[in-house]
Structure 1
Amino acid sequence: MPQGSDVADVAPMPRHQHLIVTVYGLYARNQGGTFAVADLIRLLGELGMESAGVRSAVSRLKKRGVLVSVKRGGAAAYKLSPELEDVFTAGDERIFSPRRAKKDDGWLLASFSVPEARRHLRHKLRTILTRVGCGQVSPGLWIAPGALANEVELQVRRAGLMSYVDLFRATHLTESQINEKVGQWWDLPSLEALYTDFLVRHEPVLQRWLQRAGEDDDSPALLRQAFADYIPMVTAWRRLPYMDPGLPEDYLPERWHGLAAQQLFTQLHELLGPCAHEYAMSIVGASQPVAS
């Protein structure tokens, strides 16, 4: 466990847009994908965001096609883009139920060739493969644990780039070299640094809540604090399972902090998630329009 006793309890607040996406991903689907603007401002106010900042971030998300404006009960509201529903659903499994591959699971190979006239698509394709957790064997050949096959195909198809890509199931035949090769295909030191940062910043949050264990307290103040701790934690975490391909433990460096970080996230999710959900629903659920 990295040393971090001199680091502040509270991590720097993630960008407003990232927090909003987290809140929508966690709670909006219980509300038909929609939040009234007033409710969203109140929720994000618990995270230190001012009304103007919320509106500005929502406007940027609307321009990006993440949110669409609607009316709910006659009030202004924003809804998740229907085109992103499958992305959020797939994200639930990747973020909250990650799977670490076994040595005998095999590999996925993604081979692509893009004509020179459309070379701008190469960067787009490489970005997609990187974000889903693939490693680069060579410029036109990428690799991932076999368990990521469906997700890789989904993301490439969503981008309309499947005509440039061939996907293969594969077995690596030179097992004695695999640990060295994995270190070439993925930037594990950079990923390790991100996991270390997550541990340093959020381990004190867990310790603070564990000290409250046994307290008979389900007050609004406790629920509000759980929400305020949970949302930034999930926001900081949710990109990491995408950057981490879920390599078998046998292929990871010794004392890999990703394993401890996953355990910490799971503990905080189980400890704070229900209280944060109850608080969020007390805000957004209370303002649902009554059916006629």
Structure 2
Amino acid sequence: MAEPHTPRSLIVTLYGAYGRAPGDAPMPVAELIRLLGAVGVDAPAVRSSVSRLKRRGLLVAARTRDGAAGYALSADARQLLDDGDLRIYRHPAPRLGEGWVLAVFSVPEAERHKRHLLRSRLSRLGFGTAAPGVWIAPAGLYEETRHTLEQLELAPYVDLFRGEHLGFAATGESVARWWDLAALARLHHDFLGTNEPVLRSWESAADAAPDPERAYRDYLLALDSWRQLPYADPGLPRELLPEDWPGARSAEVFGLLHERLRDAGAAFVRGR
């Protein structure tokens, strides 16, 4: 999982939270510097990170209506963010009966560099490893997986299947082999350790009018930490997880922070 709170990560998070205006209007560079400055990123780091995101094809240079220099999301970046919304803001975890999507790939030896890219991308999408060359995830990830593999021009090497697990081991035992559940639980505990105190501080001041800058800052940092978790943990059915699984609580904490802070922080983004 990528490290949260790097300048590049925060810029992507900012566009995901507040940068998808109608028509994908560009965000002025001066505004990017102001908004990232509020979470501790200085102007040179903003400019350097924007340049890297532009080279990766995620941002495109554009002029705002008043002629100021700015950056808008590319079509691919918009698709990535839209796909990400389904995970980041999803509601209940999938039910056991919804089944699985399997990715089976074969890459010619002459193109073996794509083998690593495929494994890396499937892992980042939240797939577990069922067997060599066979990757598995909850069936609800099919559309996002298809979009991602097509964008990376990896689709010709992969076959996707929907199915159910029929044995021979119990599905819960198999899930514990396919994913490192202990590592995923630590990620949830880390998120809770940082963000439960933030939520408590806002709950203790529930009667006070929220400060827009503080709301924006706390929300952006929480979202930047949270948005990567649903990719490491793809939302496995609750019946297959340990009884003390922390994922439900971390999702609840993020949901409460989102409900309380997102719109309050928008006033700071708008500059008032």
Q: TM-score range by the shorter chain?
A: over 0.9
Output aligned runs, 1:99-248, within 5 Å: 99-174=92-167, 177-215=170-208, 217=209, 222-248=211-237
Residues of 1 paired with 2:72 and 2:186: CA distance?
Answer: 35
SS in structure 2 opposite 1:133? Answer: coil
Secondary structure of the residue that 1:136 maps to in structure 2? strand
Structure 1 portions without partners, runs of 5+: 1-11, 284-292
Cα deviation 1:241-285 (Å, max 9, x = unaligned): 1111211111111211111100000010001111012221236xx
Q: d(CA) in 1 for partners of 2:91 and 2:149?
A: 20
SS class of match (1:144): strand
CA displacement at 1:63 relative to structure 2: 2.0
2:63 aligned residue: 71
Shift, 1:33, TM fit: 3.9
Question: Given residue 254 of structure 1, which amino acid in structure 2 is its aligned partner?
Answer: E
2:41 is equivalent to residue 42 of structure 1: no
| 2:54 corresponding residue in structure 1 | 62
Greater Rg, structure 1 or structure 2? 1
CA gap 1:27/1:169 in 2 versus in 1, 3 angstroms: same
CA distance in 1, matches of 2:202, 2:181: 31
Aligned residues: 268
CA distance in 2, matches of 1:22, 1:237: 10
> Counterpart amino acid of 2:137?
A
Does residue 28 in structure 1 map to residue 19 in structure 2? Answer: yes
- Measure how far apart 1:98 and its partner are: 4.6
Deviations 1:170-213 (A, max 9, x none): 12112752111111101111111111000001111001101111
- In structure 2, what is the equivalent of residue 93 of structure 1? 86
TM-score by length of 1: 0.87
Identity fraction in percent: 43
Partner of 1:288: none
Distance 2:4 2:160 in 1: 39
TM-score, scaled to structure 2: 0.93
Instruction: Tell me how far apart the structure 1 counterparts of residues 101 and 176 of structure 2 sit (CA, whole Å).
Output: 17
8 Å contact kept, 2:4–2:225 = no
Paired with 1:209 and 1:235, the residues of 2 have a C-alpha distance of: 18
Where does structure 2 lack aligned partners over 5 or more consecutive residues? none
Partners of 1:98 and 1:241 within 8 A in 2:
no
